[in-house]
Amino acid sequence: MKAMVLKNLCDLGINKEPLELQDIPKPFPNEGEILVKVSTCGVCHTELDEIEGRTPPSRFPMVLGHQVVGRVEKTGKDASRFTIGDRIGIAWIYSSCGTCDYCLSGKENLCESFKATGRDANGGYAEYMTIPEDFAFKIPDTFSDMEAAPLLCAGAIGYRSLKLTGLINGQNLGLTGFGASAHLVLKMAQYKYPDSKIYVFARSEKEREFALELGAFWAGDTEDKPPEKLNCIIDTTPVWKPVVEALKNLKSGGRLVINAIRKEDHDKDYLLKLKYPSHLWLEKEIKSVANVERSDVSEFLDLAAQIGIKPEYQEFRLEEANKALLELKNRQIKGAKVLKIG
pLDDT in tens, 88-125: 999 999 999 999 999 999 999 999 999 999 999 999 99
Q: Are residues 11 and 111 in the same domain?
A: yes
Q: Are residues 73 and 179 in the same domain?
A: no
Report yes or no on 166 lying in a domain.
yes
User: Would the pLDDT of 136 be above 90?
Assistant: yes
Report yes or no on 144 lying in a domain.
no
pLDDT at 333: 74
Question: How does the average pLDDT of the chain come out, rounded?
Answer: 94
Q: Are residues 8 and 91 in the same domain?
A: yes
Q: Are residues 85 and 12 in the same domain?
A: yes
Q: Are residues 114 and 63 in the same domain?
A: yes
The residue type found at 109 is: N
pTM: 0.92
φ and ψ of 5, to 5 deg = -115, 135
pLDDT at 274: 61
Q: Are residues 189 and 220 in the same domain?
A: yes
Work out the pLDDT band at 268, boundaries 50, 70, 90.
Answer: low
Give the domain-ending residue among 272, 288, 304: 288
User: Rounded to an integer, what distance in angstroms lies between the CA atom of residue 255 and that of residue 160?
Assistant: 14
133: helix, strand or coil: helix
Q: Are residues 33 and 118 in the same domain?
A: yes
Q: Are residues 19 and 110 in the same domain?
A: yes
Report yes or no on 150 lying in a domain.
no
Q: Are residues 14 and 99 in the same domain?
A: yes
Any idea what the CATH number is for the domain that residue 23 is in? Answer: 3.90.180.10
Number of domains comprising the chain? 2
Q: Please name the residue ranges forming H helices in 140-264.
A: 145-150, 156-165, 182-192, 205-213, 241-248
Q: Are residues 17 and 135 in the same domain?
A: yes
Report yes or no on 148 lying in a domain.
no
User: Rounded to an integer, what distance in angstroms lies between the CA atom of residue 197 and that of residue 258?
Assistant: 20
Work out the pLDDT band at 10, boundaries 50, 70, 90.
Answer: very high
Report yes or no on 228 lying in a domain.
yes
Report yes or no on 174 lying in a domain.
yes
Report yes or no on 120 lying in a domain.
yes
The arithmetic mean of pLDDT across residues 163-172, rounded, is: 98
Q: Are residues 35 and 8 in the same domain?
A: yes
pLDDT at 335: 76
Residue 67's nearest CA partner among 140, 6, 128, 154 is: 154
The arithmetic mean of pLDDT across residues 281-296, rounded, is: 93
Report yes or no on 151 lying in a domain.
no
C-alpha separations of 80 from 83, 86, 87, 256 in Å: 7, 12, 14, 42
Any idea what the CATH number is for the domain that residue 192 is in? Answer: 3.40.50.720
Residue-number span of the structural domain to which 243 is assigned: 156-288
Q: Are residues 212 and 108 in the same domain?
A: no
Work out the pLDDT band at 277, boundaries 50, 70, 90.
Answer: low
